[in-house]
Amino acid sequence: MLKDIDVYDYLRHEKKFPLMWCAGCGNGIILGSIIRAVDTLGLDKNKVAMVSGIGCSGRTSTYVDFNTLHTTHGRALAFATGLKHANNDLTTLVVTGDGDCLAIGGNHFIHAARRNIDLTVFLFNNNIYGMTGGQASPTTPFGKIASTARKGNIENNFDACKVADACGASFVARGTTYDADGLDELAIMAIEKKGFSVLEIITPCPTIYGRYNRMGNAVTMLKNQCENAVPVEEARDMTPEELTGKIVTGIFVNRDLPEFCAEYDKLIESYQKK
């Protein structure tokens, strides 16, 4: 349930407002969900750190009144790993895009999941490099148009949630910007979970991806999310053909595994005893 809070308590008012995102972009909805989750959990904003990379998602850290770190392209998880390891008391959130996280940052993604370090990743997936020219990203579907694929993408895309699961994340989920209520709930669960958490959010890019692929305006793209979202529980009983073009949403992984910082502390203690 969306919570009525004073969102302005969590924003840096001297920054560039209104938001720099294009009209109809879903990133502002994600920003709202993150803020509501932090507020609902009663977290001290001075003990929350947000790390971002390059791309449309990277601007998120500029607006929030947390401890923030805007890093280089693809390296948000590398910086966040160092930050969390140095100060385990911080609730560390990573905001990153499908290009930033899964292409140039792909190696960091799989190894952060393998370590199961206590980070919460908000993966903004708009299926394209929105800020840097509309190039095809690892999540651009086969056949879709991008600036680097003018006749249609000839590469198969991959499922970020399946990658996170296979690499050992403790919590993996997917939501959409259409379902803001559901996104709030998933954001709360992702932050609460001890270990590496990934929340992939399907967000519209009407200015580039939508325009290239004749998907209509922002409202039409949000309606498309609504009409094609399928809860993971229902998806298990559907055939691959029935799932074509659908967005499977919900929680895919929620398991308890050893967390990197806690295990490292045990290692230090074992050496100190000697």
Q: Which tens digits make up the pLDDT trace of 207-266?
A: 999 999 999 999 999 999 999 999 999 999 999 999 999 999 999 999 999 999 999 999
The 3-state DSSP class for residue 197 equals strand
Range of the domain at 61: 21-273
Q: How confident is the model at residue 18 (pLDDT cuts 50, 70, 90)?
A: confident
Domain CATH code at residue 129: 3.40.50.970
- Number of structural domains, the chain? 1
* Between 146 and 19, the higher pLDDT residue: 146
Q: pLDDT tens for residues 96-108?
A: 999 999 999 999 9
Domain for residue 4, yes or no?
no
Domain for residue 13, yes or no?
no
Q: What is the pTM of this model?
A: 0.95
Question: What pLDDT is attached to residue 3?
Answer: 56
Rounded average pLDDT over 45-49:
97
Q: How confident is the model at residue 16 (pLDDT cuts 50, 70, 90)?
A: low
Give the dihedral of Cα atoms 109, 112, 115, 119; nearest 10 deg.
-130
Rounded average pLDDT over 193-204:
98
Domain for residue 11, yes or no?
no
Q: How confident is the model at residue 132 (pLDDT cuts 50, 70, 90)?
A: confident
Compute the mean pLDDT over every residue in the chain, rounded to the nearest whole number: 94
Domain for residue 147, yes or no?
yes
Domain for residue 153, yes or no?
yes
Question: What pLDDT is attached to residue 271?
Answer: 92
- Laid out side by side, the sheet with 197-202 consists of 67-70, 48-52, 91-97, 120-125, 197-202, 171-176, 247-254, 229-231
Domain for residue 16, yes or no?
no
Domain for residue 198, yes or no?
yes
